[in-house]
């Protein structure tokens, strides 16, 4: 899968500029040359006017005057199956993932990282041909209604994608307690969560993926960050391999921050060791409303009230 055109502001035109299937398998290439930034980080701006569209965005822009887009998936920078046009699309989409799923937005940084790693792999992995095939004969295009915008007859590339079950379960575990997932019925299962991204949310970007899951060695697999402890990101090598915008998430960019998501978006954190003086513990069998209820005492009190009421009633009648 590749793309050789640009959609301004990452807004698809639905028909002319969408991802394309390759008729034959081609060799992966390094992320270098025309269209690629010569660095993986941000650039140096002398004035805002020198920057791409007037602003330097850390983790997105790069180059001498921020006129390029930074490499979003440095894990694959030496061997990749994605184009610089796809890199630009990833930059825009990763900004949204950070906002919706990151801890600063009330979510969980581990969840945001895992989603970015999924899309880096699907778009750029050099082993793409092992887990992704055309759903129909080349060029494998069809037309669909985009439920996100209501636009009909949207041209899409249809692909079959095979994902490792342990990877997908781990990804969902890191996201299932985030606010967006926990209140949206369509996202409350691992399959629903992934299908929403690969199908519902992807039509507007010109692609539709049929997902299958299993434990075959050829299926896409990747290590996940666990929401209650992702201290491995403190190792320089592990940090450098994360998607670029994942490296900028608050609990990852700050080495002094706890490498765990808040209790509100990760139930495992509620029971995990913490530096906080206050601690919440979630138990599998919460306290019943009947705990502490003394039936004998209550029966005695109510019996006493009944006897007292009866005495008052008889006294009133004999007067």
pLDDT in tens, 274-319: 544 344 444 555 555 555 556 676 666 666 676 666 666 666 666 5
Tell me how far the alpha carbon of residue 229 is from its chain's centroid. Answer: 17
Q: What are the residue ranges of helices labelled H in 102-245?
A: 109-124, 128-131, 165-175, 179-182, 190-195, 236-241
pLDDT at 168: 96
pTM of the model: 0.80
Tell me the average confidence (pLDDT) per consecutive run of 10 residues in the chain, 319 residues long: 80 76 92 75 50 60 66 94 92 92 94 98 97 96 92 94 97 95 90 94 92 97 96 96 94 95 92 49 52 64 67 62
pLDDT at 275: 42
Tokens 């004035």 correspond to 47
SS3 47: coil
pLDDT at 304: 67
Q: Write the DSSP symbol of residue 210.
A: E
pLDDT at 280: 45
pLDDT at 295: 64
pLDDT at 9: 67
pLDDT in tens, 41-56: 445 555 545 455 556 6
55: phi > 0 → left, psi -120 to 50 → alpha, else beta; which?
beta
Q: For Cα atoms 212, 219, 199, give the angle at the middle one, nearest 5 degrees.
A: 40
Return d(Cα 162, Cα 300) in angstroms, integer: 67
Return d(Cα 249, Cα 108) in angstroms, integer: 10
Contact 174, 108 (CB under 8 A): yes
Contact 42, 70 (CB under 8 A): yes
């Amino acid at each position: 899968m590749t793309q050789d055109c640009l959609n301004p502001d990452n807004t698809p035109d639905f028909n002319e500029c969408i991802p394309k299937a390759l008729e034959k398998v081609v060799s992966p290439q390094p992320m270098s040359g025309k269209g690629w930034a010569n660095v993986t980080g941000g650039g140096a701006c002398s004035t805002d006017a020198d920057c791409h569209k007037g602003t330097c965005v850390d983790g997105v822009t790069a180059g001498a005057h921020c006129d390029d887009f930074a490499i979003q998936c440095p894990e694959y920078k030496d061997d990749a199956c994605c184009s610089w046009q796809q890199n630009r699309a990833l930059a825009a989409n990763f900004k949204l993932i950070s906002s919706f799923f990151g801890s600063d937005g009330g979510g969980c940084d581990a969840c945001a990282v895992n989603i970015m790693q999924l899309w880096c792999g699907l778009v750029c992995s050099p082993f793409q041909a092992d887990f992704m095939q055309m759903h129909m004969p080349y060029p494998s295009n069809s037309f669909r209604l985009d439920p996100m915008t209501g636009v009909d007859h949207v041209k899409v590339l249809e692909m079959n994608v095979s994902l490792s079950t342990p990877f997908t379960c781990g990804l969902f575990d890191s996201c299932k307690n985030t606010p967006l997932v926990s209140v949206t019925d369509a996202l409350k299962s691992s399959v629903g969560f992934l299908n929403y991204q690969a199908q519902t949310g992807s039509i507007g970007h010109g692609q539709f993926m049929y997902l299958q899951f299993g434990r075959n060695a050829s299926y896409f697999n990747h290590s996940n960050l666990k929401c209650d402890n992702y201290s491995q990101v403190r190792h320089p090598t592990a940090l450098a391999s994360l998607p670029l915008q994942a490296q900028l998430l608050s609990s990852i960019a700050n080495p002094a921050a706890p490498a765990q998501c808040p209790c509100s978006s990760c139930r495992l954190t509620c029971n995990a060791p913490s530096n906080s003086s206050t601690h919440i513990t979630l138990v599998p069998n919460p306290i019943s409303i009947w705990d502490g209820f003394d039936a004998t005492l209550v029966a005695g009190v109510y019996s006493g009230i009944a006897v007292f009421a009866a005495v008052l009633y008889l006294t009133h009648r004999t007067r």
